[in-house]
Amino acid sequence: MSDIPEGLKYSREHEWVRVEGDAAILGITDYAQSHLGDVVYVELPEVGVKLKQNGALGVVESVKAASDVYAPVSGEVLERNAKVIESPELVNRAPYGEGWLLRVKLADPAELPSLLDAAGYRDHTADG
């Protein structure tokens, strides 16, 4: 059973969002990292890049496959997690902690209700 913390928002593509004021921290879920296997490379956009909800924001490569990561919300990249670029295995070890990917300035907080809460994400991942 994957770890699905309460208080976060989740996309159907297995990304999570933690809102902090007018910014949001983004990452991939425990479910996603467990299905990817050992993450060996993370490619993230530069600071200042504007992301569109559901648009590609980067790539996570594992020993099994490379997977696009999608932006669960629109916003401007404020910070990239340099630790995860240097040590991609943090995505596996702590997907909701040190393994976060980006901090973005939210462009449209009205997008948040379109995301799943923990119970909805648990239902979404129960099928597969």
pLDDT for residue 127 = 66
Task: Choose the CATH number for 9-109 among 3.40.50.10420, 3.90.1300.10, 2.40.50.100, 3.10.310.30.
Answer: 2.40.50.100
Spell out the residues 6+ positions from residue 80 whose beta carbon is closer than 8 angstroms to its own: 44, 45, 46, 47, 101, 102
Over the stretch 61-87, which tens digit does the pLDDT of each residue have? 999 999 999 999 999 999 999 999 999
Q: What residues have CB less than 8 Å from 38, skipping those under 6 apart? A: 62, 63, 89, 92
Overall average pLDDT of the 87-114 stretch: 97
Distance CA 41, CA 21 (A): 30
Above 90 in pLDDT, residue 122? yes
Answer whether 0.75 is exceeded by the pTM. yes
What's the pLDDT score for residue 2? 75
Task: Kindly list the domain boundaries of the chain, sorted by start residue.
Answer: 9-109
